[in-house]
Amino acid sequence: MTLHSARSRARALLRRPSTLAAVTVLLVCVPLGNQDVTAAVHVTPADVASLLLVGVVALSVLRGRTPVALPGPTALVFSGVAVAVAAAAAASQDPSQSLSGFVRITQVFVLVPVAVLLSLRDRADLRRVLGALVGAALTEGAVGVEQYLTGTGASYDGGTVRAVGTFGAQDVMAMSAVVSYGLLAALGLTLEARAAGRRRPALLHGGCAAALLLPLALSFSRGSWIATGCAVALALLLADVRLLLRLALFGLAAAVVLVGGFGLGGASVTARLGSIASVTGAPDHSVSDRYDLWTTAGRIWRDHPLTGVGPKEFPQFRDAHAPLRLSSGSDTAGAGAGFAREPLLSPHNMYLLVLSEQGLIGLTAFAGLLLSLLLGVVRGAGAGLNAALVGLLTWQLVDFLYADIGGPTTVLVSVVLGLAAQAGLGARSSAGAGPAPVPAATAVIPAVAVTPAVVATVAL
């Protein structure tokens, strides 16, 4: 590559950083092999790309080439999260251990979402990132279906048939998350094309959404099924009630054909669906462990109510507060890996994780951010791409009830929050009218200041 070519590509990235946001999404699919889940820091290609996105956007803003600025309320809700987690890290009994947690949370909930927000300058940018979500979902979904058909997936119910994509048995929820994101993105692109009268794109995107139902079912992830159902229902309720009813009938018919007619997933899917209703009566082992972890998080918070025990500190305080029946870990096997015992390092509930590790201060800031995003996307909801953003944020909020950040798909949480911020809180044109915008250069100074700490932690 010549120097002139490199400069041309660099200028193109500064003009269209959404391309780098889309690349970040696609890099989630890169196989990482078996990793040590107890390691303090995991760095993936997608994480590196996300930090590069932050740097590119910051450089573009500082050079005055970003045609948008952050409104004051937008900067406030994101800054609140950074300040809260900094306070929790400073008050931690082991600040050095909590430093990596501070950097990770700042990356996931502040730096990357703001970078994604500032990279979306028009609808074409939004379509580019949504298209990347669909592409990643189709890739992982195809791998997952192949795993089910060949019996090379993760261990489930005595066999190795659980679809986990390229993520392996240690991240059994990852593929279902990627597929869910892609399904909702495809639904939004379908609604947009349908509203514009573009029949072929509508059929193409609608076909992608329908195709992703199969790998979602074969993931055997009850949480992803529930979150996807809630997200699709709310998005279509706000966009087109009649289409919601038609898709509900189509989904039921597809389930009958795929599960009943072709036997794909068959008894396993049916049994998994039936188990959703039993989680409060006679919960299985994984559900009872999750309840015990939630109890543990509550007990930790009661002992440290204001700032929590500090980021990354839940495992150190878990055993002293856990019920005696809590397992030492969960069993994983299959998808190219042998049997392993995976430690329970979090309460598997993002809200309770924040409460236990960051206390009331952290939960208030975190809830303020999510509530602002939710009110914003619902207020701006309608047909087309906004329906996708409503669905993506709804999925994330529901998923946080029984999951938290961690694993190779964590960066996608940042992308979803950035997309939702663009729709709900938004970035205002520097040349146009807007409610008290913060100058773009000023808005990214905290990002520029924190980025060296992120890079230093990644390099550890």
Locate the DSSP E strands across 308-405: 329-334, 337-343
Average pLDDT over residues 211-219: 93
- pLDDT above 50 for 450: no
**Helix or strand (DSSP H, E) at 160:** strand 159-162
Helix or strand holding residue 254 (H, E): helix 241-255
| pLDDT score at 254 | 55
110 contacts 409 by C-beta, under 8 angstroms: no
Mean pLDDT of 85-112: 93
One DSSP character per residue, 291-312 reads: HHHHHHHHHHHHHSTTT-S-TT
Of residues 174, 166, 262, the one with CA closest to residue 216? 174
User: How large is the average pLDDT for residues 88-97?
Assistant: 91
Cα separation, 424 vs 440, in Å, equals 18
Sheet holding 428-429, edge to edge: 428-429, 68-71, 437-438
Q: pLDDT per residue over 413-426, tens digit each?
A: 999 999 999 876 65
pLDDT band at 432 (very low <50, low <70, confident <90, very high): very low
Q: Are 425 and 73 in contact (CB under 8 A)?
A: yes
> Residue 20 — φ and ψ, nearest 5°?
-70, -35
User: What are the beta bridge partners of residue 438?
Assistant: 70
pLDDT of residue 260: 52
Strands 337-343 and 428-429: unpaired
d(CA 227, CA 134): 17
pLDDT at 454: 38
Cα→Cα distances 229→5, 233, 235, 248, Å: 46, 6, 10, 10
Q: What is the pLDDT of residue 433?
A: 37
Other Cβ atoms closer than 10 A to 272: 18
- The mean pLDDT value for 65-75 works out to 74
Residues 6+ apart with CB under 8 A from 204: none
How far apart, in whole angstroms, are the C-alpha atoms of residue 337 and residue 368?
41
* Among the listed residues 199, 69, 78, 201, the one whose alpha carbon sits nearest the alpha carbon of residue 130: 201
Confidence of residue 42 (pLDDT cuts 50, 70, 90): confident
Q: Exposure pattern of 193-220 as b/e (b: 16+ CB <10 Å)? A: bbbeeeeeebeebbebbbbbbbbbbbbb
pLDDT per residue as tens digits for the range 254-310: 555 555 544 555 556 666 665 555 555 555 667 788 888 999 999 999 999 999 999
Instruction: Specify the range with the lowest mean pLDDT, choosing from 192-201, 366-375, 412-421.
Output: 192-201
pLDDT tens track for 140-167:
999 999 999 998 888 877 788 899 999 9
Residue 69 region by backbone torsions, left for phi larger than 0, else alpha for psi between -120 and 50, else beta: beta
Name the token pair of 387: 């329906």
Count of CB atoms situated within 10 Å of the CB of 287 = 17
- Please give the average per-residue pLDDT across 389-418, as a whole number: 94
Of 413, 440, 411, 423, nearest to 372 by C-alpha is 423
In b/e form, how buried is each residue of 110-142, taking b as 16+ CB within 10 angstroms?
Answer: bbbbbbbbbbbbeeebbbbbbbbbbbbbbbbbe
Task: Report the pLDDT value the prediction gives residue 60, as an integer from 0 to 100.
Answer: 83
Q: What is the 3-state secondary structure (H, E, C) of 89-124?
A: HHHCCCHHHHHHHHHHHHHHHHHHHHHHHHHCCCHH
Rounded Cα–Cα distance for residues 208 and 274 (Å)? 27
Strands, sheet with 154-156, edge to edge from the N-terminal-most edge strand: 159-162, 154-156, 329-334, 337-343
Looking at residue 456, what is its pLDDT? 34
CA–CA distance, 172 with 301 (Å, rounded to integer): 28
CA-only gyration radius of the chain, Å: 22
- Mean pLDDT (the chain, rounded): 80
